[in-house]
């Protein structure tokens, strides 16, 4: 199958809820998992790539993100571009509730999109920073799976972080 | 014809079989949790270890602590701990470096600030060259709990007031502030209570004290300050210095003097020289411990 003379090659992705997305090759290559696949299999002719762990809602957001960042990167670097990237990233995250952030992280992790994953991780960290343990537990939907003995051990091994040498306990 | 694309996903930390109908962040692999908590500061990371086993595991991940350690931590470990522990995880190294480690024959202490990873260093009064220290009419070492070193140098009275010191240390790159920790007046315990005695304080209001520092790469800072406010410990600010390259040791010389011999001065407690990352100055100022800003 010849790849010659195709201007913008498109790749089709199929999500968990059976939607198909056609994306430009450049965008699909932002997904390291897909890029690795094509690097290792240059003759591959997958018509459609299945992404059983990604919903269409997630994928369309991710595609938007990658498209915008590719466009930013194509322009000359300058502090005003950096400012625009920062604003874009902030807006991308701001409107999303905790549930969708979670879904996006799982998807970005699955597709291995480092820049997006870093940005999302930072956003989640910002949301849980300085919050109580209970809050964070609810945020992540976690159960406490420790035995009482383990809890005592955890307390002991982490004590150093909360006491002792402190520059301003004069 | 070509490899099966979905085979690529099978080894991703067991994620392959998770269906995304009900997403819970609890399904996140430990590596992902580690990435998130890596953006928090150490006390928070340790606090969140209480959540569940995955968080506890993530709170021990080397990748998390590597980013908290100063870039030259191997050198610091050699200098401070004196041995290179094998198979010590990065978190353990961080924890050890956060303790007030004593070195140079008990005359210095150094530690990493838990939250920021910045290096803090103290030089005890016993590690400084105090003019007249051998003459009990002038200076005496007094044991006290008010010093991290367990004793301070008390000045009864003297004409030539001079204290010099030096330290050579592989500070990580950054800006540092240097202080002398001083108190006018003498504290003692009588009948189990702290008593502050300012009777002997004299001579400091006549001329200011001059503080100076020099570095081995040619930096110099100086300040002049009138000592005041008996009965409280203050950090008198000498100046700041920069470290650009953390791969070599920085040598710092310091001095504090008031050598106008037309008058005596006395009634001063000298605890130590203090070197902190510059941003701690705000903290000190905020707490009212800073002088000579």
For B235-268, write each residue's pLDDT tens digit. 999 999 999 987 789 999 999 999 999 999 999 9
CB A132 within 8 A of CB B47: no
For A98-124, write each residue's pLDDT tens digit. 888 888 999 999 999 999 999 999 999
CA distances from B273 to B108, B125, B128, B164, B280 (A): 9, 8, 9, 10, 15
B26 interface with A at CB cutoff 8 Å: yes
Mutation target among B4, B15, B20, B24 for the A interface, most CBs of A within 10 A: B20
Q: Which residues of chain B neighbour A50 with C-beta distances below 8 Å?
A: 5-6
Question: B124: helix, coil or strand?
Answer: strand
What is the rounded average pLDDT of the residues A162-168? 60
Scanning B180-239 for CB atoms below 8 A from A yields 181, 233, 235
Average pLDDT of chain B, as a whole number: 87
Distance from CA of A70 to the nearest CA of B (A): 24
DSSP letter (8 states) at residue B202: B
Question: B156: helix, coil or strand?
Answer: coil
Percent of chain B with pLDDT over 70: 89
Give yes or no for residue B136 having a pLDDT over 80: yes
Judged by CB atoms closer than 8 Å, whether chains meet at A44 and B27 is answered as no
Question: B161: helix, coil or strand?
Answer: strand
User: Residue B49: which of A45, A139, A158 has the nearest Cβ?
Assistant: A158
User: Residue B23: which of A103, A118, A144 has the nearest Cβ?
Assistant: A103
Q: Which residues of chain A neighbour B6 with C-beta distances below 8 Å?
A: 50, 52
Give yes or no for residue A170 having a pLDDT over 50: no
Average pLDDT of chain A, as a whole number: 85
Which range, of A160-169, B47-56, B265-274, averages the lowest pLDDT? A160-169
CB-based burial label for B131 (10 Å; 0-12, 13-18, 19+): middle
Question: Which runs of E-coded beta strand occur in chain B?
Answer: 101-103, 108-112, 119-124, 129-130, 139-143, 151-155, 161-169, 174-184, 186-190, 193-197, 209-215, 220-225, 233-243, 250-258, 268-277, 290-291
Judged by CB atoms closer than 8 Å, whether chains meet at B8 and A36 is answered as yes
pTM here is 0.82
Residue in chain B closest to A32 (alpha carbons) equals B8
Whole-number pLDDT of residue B29: 77
Whole-number pLDDT of residue B102: 92
For B35-92, write each residue's pLDDT tens digit. 999 999 999 999 999 888 888 999 999 999 999 999 999 899 988 887 766 778 999 9
User: Residue B2: which of A45, A118, A137 has the nearest Cβ?
Assistant: A45
Q: What is the ipTM of this complex?
A: 0.81
Residues B277 and B74: their CA atoms lie apart, in Å, by: 19
B51 interface with A at CB cutoff 8 Å: yes
CA distances from B274 to A40, A107, B123, B167, B232 (A): 57, 49, 7, 11, 16
Whole-number pLDDT of residue A46: 64
Give yes or no for residue A166 having a pLDDT over 60: no
Q: Which residues of chain A neighbour B95 with C-beta distances below 8 Å?
A: 160
| Residue B234: strand pairing partners | B182
For B167-211, write each residue's pLDDT tens digit. 999 999 999 999 999 999 987 766 677 777 888 899 999 999 999
SS (HEC) of A88-153: HHHHHHHCCCHHHHHHHHHHHHHHCCHHHHHHHHHHHHHHHCCCCHHHHHHHHCCCCCCCHHHHHH
Residues B241 and B57: their CA atoms lie apart, in Å, by: 39
Distance from CA of B67 to the nearest CA of A (A): 14
More reliable by pLDDT, A125 or B16: A125
Give the pLDDT band (50/70/90) at residue B292.
Answer: confident
Chain Cα centroid distance, residue B293: 18
**Residues A1-6: contacts with CB within 8 Å, 24+ apart?**
A1/A43, A1/A45
Distance from CA of B231 to the nearest CA of A (A): 13
Whole-number pLDDT of residue A167: 47
Judged by CB atoms closer than 8 Å, whether chains meet at B100 and A165 is answered as yes
The C-alpha angle with vertex B47 and arms to B46 and B50, in degrees rounded to 5, equals 100
Residues A110 and A163: their CA atoms lie apart, in Å, by: 39
Dihedral sign for Cα atoms in the order A79, A84, A85, A86: positive
A168 interface with B at CB cutoff 8 Å: yes
Distance from CA of B262 to the nearest CA of A (A): 34
Distance from CA of B41 to the nearest CA of A (A): 9
Which residue is it, tokens 């990352």?
B277
Give the pLDDT band (50/70/90) at residue B18.
Answer: very low
Give φ, ψ of A2 to 5 degrees.
-80, 140
User: Residue B98: which of A37, A154, A160 has the nearest Cβ?
Assistant: A160
């Amino acid at each position: 199958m010849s790849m010659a003379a195709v201007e913008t090659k498109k790749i089709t992705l199929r999500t968990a809820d059976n939607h198909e997305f056609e994306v430009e090759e450049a965008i699909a290559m932002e997904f390291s998992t897909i890029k690795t696949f094509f690097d290792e299999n240059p003759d591959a002719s997958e018509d459609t790539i299945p992404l059983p762990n990604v919903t269409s809602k997630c994928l369309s957001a991710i595609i938007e993100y990658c498209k915008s960042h590719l466009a930013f990167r194509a322009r000359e670097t300058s502090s005003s571009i950096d400012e625009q990237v920062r604003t874009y990233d902030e807006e991308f995250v701001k409107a999303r509730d905790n549930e969708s952030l979670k879904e996006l992280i799982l998807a970005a992790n699955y597709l291995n999109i480092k820049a997006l994953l870093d940005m999302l991780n930072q956003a989640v960290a910002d949301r849980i920073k300085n919050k109580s343990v209970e809050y964070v537990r609810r945020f992540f939907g976690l159960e406490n799976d420790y035995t009482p003995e383990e809890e005592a051990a955890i307390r002991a091994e982490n004590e150093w972080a909360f006491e002792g040498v402190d520059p301003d306990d004069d | 014809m070509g490899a099966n694309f979905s085979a690529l996903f099978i080894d991703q930390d067991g994620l392959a079989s998770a269906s995304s109908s009900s997403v819970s962040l609890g399904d996140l692999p430990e590596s992902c949790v580690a990435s998130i908590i890596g953006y928090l500061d150490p006390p928070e990371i340790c606090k969140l270890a209480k959540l569940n086993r995955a968080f506890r595991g993530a709170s021990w991940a080397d990748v998390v602590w590597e980013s908290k350690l100063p870039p030259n931590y191997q050198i610091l470990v050699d200098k401070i701990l004196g041995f290179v522990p094998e198979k010590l995880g990065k978190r353990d190294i961080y924890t050890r470096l956060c303790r007030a480690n004593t070195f140079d024959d008990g005359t210095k202490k150094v530690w990493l600030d838990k939250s920021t990873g910045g290096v803090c260093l103290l030089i005890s009064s016993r590690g400084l060259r105090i003019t007249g220290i051998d003459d009990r009419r002038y200076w005496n070492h007094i044991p006290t709990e008010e010093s991290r070193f367990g004793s301070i140098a008390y000045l009864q009275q003297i004409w030539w007031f001079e204290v010099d010191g030096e330290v050579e240390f592989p500070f990580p790159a950054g800006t540092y502030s240097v202080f002398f920790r001083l108190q006018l007046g003498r504290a003692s315990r009588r009948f189990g209570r702290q008593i502050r005695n300012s009777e002997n304080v004299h001579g400091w209001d006549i001329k200011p004290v001059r503080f100076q520092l020099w570095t081995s790469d040619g930096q110099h800072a100086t300040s002049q300050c009138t000592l005041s406010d008996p009965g409280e410990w203050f950090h008198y600010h000498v100046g700041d210095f920069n470290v650009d390259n953390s791969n070599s040791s920085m040598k710092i010389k310091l001095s504090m003097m008031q050598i106008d011999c037309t008058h005596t001065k006395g009634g001063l407690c000298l605890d130590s020289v203090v070197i902190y990352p510059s941003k701690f100055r705000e903290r000190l100022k905020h707490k009212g411990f800073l002088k000579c800003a």
